[in-house]
Amino acid sequence: MNIENTKNIAVDVEATYLAHESDPEKGRYLFSYTITIKNIGTGSARLLSRYWKITRSDGHEQEVEGDGVIGLHPYLGPEQEFTYTSAAMLDTPVGMMEGHYMMVDDEGERFEVDIPAFSLAVPQTLH
């Protein structure tokens, strides 16, 4: 569990290796990650977009940008939270992800919310 807090928006991430959907012999390692975004402030904000940097264990980096998350633009009032699950495919057994969300508050001010770096690792790969 990694938690980041930017402008009263907290982000919690948990990653899981999906062995039953992976194929190590073909270099396919699938990971799911569940993210909870919680507004711990007194204002409200809407998530507009996301940015990810995915780094494999061999150092190769991939950047992914997109509108919203899982097709949604959640609006978070004070003390509200939004949880979603997505997935990432790697061709190495270890990697990491980090990034940010672009959000906008009720006054129209845009701000970034950091997504803390988290590792993607096949169990017993890291010591």
Q: Examine residue 126 and state whether it is found in any structural domain, yes or no.
A: no
Q: Examine residue 125 and state whether it is found in any structural domain, yes or no.
A: no
Helices (H), the chain: none
Q: Examine residue 121 and state whether it is found in any structural domain, yes or no.
A: no
Q: Examine residue 54 and state whether it is found in any structural domain, yes or no.
A: yes
Distance CA 75, CA 52 (A): 20
Q: Examine residue 34 and state whether it is found in any structural domain, yes or no.
A: yes
How many domains are contained in the chain? Answer: 1
Q: Examine residue 89 and state whether it is found in any structural domain, yes or no.
A: yes
Q: In which domain, by residue range, is 25 found?
A: 2-116
pLDDT digits (tens, 9 = 90+) for 33-92: 999 999 999 999 999 999 999 999 999 999 999 999 999 999 999 999 999 999 999 999
Under DSSP, the state recorded for 91 is S
Closest CA to 40 of 10, 65, 13: 10
pLDDT digits (tens, 9 = 90+) for 12-30: 999 999 999 999 999 999 9
Summarize the confidence of residues 5-11 as an average pLDDT.
81
> CATH number for the domain including 8?
2.60.40.1470
Tell me what pLDDT residue 6 has. Answer: 62
Strand, coil or helix: 21: helix
